[in-house]
Each structure stands twice: as C-alpha cells, then as structure tokens.
Amino acid sequence: MAKYNLTLALVRDQQQILLINRLKQPFLGMWNGVGGKIESGETPIQGIKREIQEETGLTMDHYELSQNGLLKWHQNGTFVDGIYLFVANLKQPFPQNVYPQATREGILNPFPTAWVTNKNNVGIVADLKAALPSLLANEQTTYYTNFVNDELTDFYPLPA
C-alpha cells in the first residue's frame, strides 16, 4: 500500500497538457495537474488511475502511465504529505470541442506545453511548475517543497 496519501498527474498529448483550475484549497484558482487522495487499500498507481478517470473521464485505454517521482510537501517547514508524481501520455490528441470543461473539482482545459512551461506564467501551482522539466523529460526525481503563506520558498531535488 501507499506510504504517502496523495497523487498528481500530468495528462498530455504531443502538443498540450491538461490542467485543472481548482475550485477549492489548496491553490484555489490555480492551474494544476489532476490527482488527489489515495483511498484505503489502493496503491499509488490505482489511486491515480481512479483520480484521472473521476476528474477527466479518461481510462487506461486512452493513455500510457509512468510514475515520475515524488514531492515531499511541507508548509512552514512542517511535513504535510508526499505526492506521487505521474505522467499520463495520451494515445490520441485531445479532442476538439470538449474543452474547457467544468467539473466538480474545477475547470479542465488543455494548454500548449510552451504556455504551461513559460517562466512568466504565474497561474501554475509553483511546485508543479518547478517539477515540469523533469516530469516532461520522464525523469524519476524526489523533491523537497516548502510553502509559507501559499508561496513556494524551497524547492530542490533530494538525493536518491
């Protein structure tokens, strides 16, 4: 079973990344990957597959999944939880005329990868934005993250 309780995935095709604009805390109104809590008895992979399907309607038939690391999430220097990181590479491009799409979690919309990774884009959750280069390169990395008053103050890779 899972050592930590949270999952986060980048769902992407060759050109775009699907993000959700969150309706609730943490990171209300920010663009983030999809994911959430691992339920009792689930592995991290089972948890993220369920979250992807619940939040986007996409099943394993639509994508190939890889586990790409971990965020060790801290607030004010105190450990909150670990977040298992995944990338779901779609087998087909995002369909046209489906997005933006309102869900119970927020608004889903695919964006061009260049827009998501642009250094001037302040609308992406800060630790996701910092982890994007290694996620997009399919690297396995564990990160230390620390937020103070919802502002990312520390982000760095931890030794393997």
Domain ranges of the chain: 6-157
Q: Record the pTM.
A: 0.94
Per-residue pLDDT of the chain (160 residues; tens, 9 = 90+): 569 999 999 999 999 999 999 999 888 999 999 999 999 999 999 999 999 999 999 999 999 999 999 999 999 999 999 999 999 999 999 988 899 999 999 999 999 999 999 999 999 999 999 999 999 999 999 999 999 988 999 999 999 7
Q: What is the pLDDT of residue 1?
A: 56
| Top CATH class, 6-157 | alpha beta
- Can you read off the two tokens belonging to residue 135? 């996620």
